[in-house]
Structure 1
Amino acid sequence: MTGNNNDVMDAQGEWTAAEFQEWIDGNMASNADRKRWLLWAARLLKGLPVDPEELLRETVLRVLAGRRTLSRKVPIDVNVFGIMRSIASSWHKRRARRPEISVEDLVGADDEGKTQDPFEVIAIPENAQAASPEQELAFKQEMDAILSLFADREDAQLVIIGRSEGFKGAALAEAAGLDQAQLASVQRLIARRLASYRRDE
């Protein structure tokens, strides 16, 4: 398993988001390449009622959201396969502990407890009650900028507003008028766009 443009690497550090995106464009764009990755995903998911596309998508999103890093010590495709294997292993373990868990909750579960809240950028600090006028203004400007990213998705805006109010899980879904499956889908969309938003800052 070798990548197309991964042979020359620095001895230390991590592949950047831009390099990862360039790798995706060159290694997951064609039908043949995509089918190859989906085949590996299917093998890793054997026994789990999860679409291989979901594992591949989750892997890419976690890298773009900064929840997983890509070491330059190995090619990007080796990193990606390792992350896929780790996520699938986590899902297998979680399923073994809770056989009744739904597919949505399984896929939305934090891998190995290493999660970074994709809404961290809009989270209100614990001492928000004592925020200065400058901090209040900065928060409003940040929130307005983020909401503008989702001008085409009212459901995403409702989730963001609900999250900024401290809602999570079922309470967040209720506040946004979504079911759990819809919430999971919207959260993935938000995570993807926020990852791009952070890179562009």
Structure 2
Amino acid sequence: MVLNWTTALAALRPLGEIRTGDTVLIHAAAGGVGQAAVRLARHYGARVIATASPAKHHAVRLLGADEVLDSARPDLAERITQLTGGVDLVLESVGRATFEVSLSVTKPFTGRVVVLGAASGDAGLTTHDLVFTHQVQVKGLHIGVLATAAPALYRALLDEINALIAQGVYRPGTPRIHPLADGPAILRSLGAGQTSGKLALDPWS
């Protein structure tokens, strides 16, 4: 609750300024934050375009995504633009592999890109890019830093999540639990994009 859902909510609401009718692009939509973001974006009235590897498309559709695309397809930017004409908000957690796509499909000036991770590596952005190529709003998010730097905002996010629980919007999932000894293999699978949802390691098994 205090990590995945809070991160997703912060990215969508105070930073992403989501509004009913917005089109939101969510990368890595099968992951813990991604799944929460899909459900929350739909709850707040957005159209959701999600990316994930093909084996995870069905699970992401069940969460409520309107369109699910292969994050590795070479024409990803063209396809997103074809479907949307430009998105209002991007939740960018992948980094190098998708960052240029995220910038290129975001609506100029009014569009927002919230960067909350770089699973595929860092991506560069210059002042020249922002002035002459991608005139978008780029915002960084680390939920731990937000909690320390803006504690009142963090408490407001937790209050909102408590309200979402009361409304039945947030239904805690069940993590896949693995023995601690399997940690290295699980991390390799995570790095290769072969997992979905939340994973847990049990030190007593």
TM-score by length of 2: 0.23
Q: More strand per residue: 1 or 2?
A: 2
Bigger RCO (CA 8 Å, 6+ sep): 1
> Which structure: larger Rg?
1
Q: TM-score, normalised by structure 1?
A: 0.23
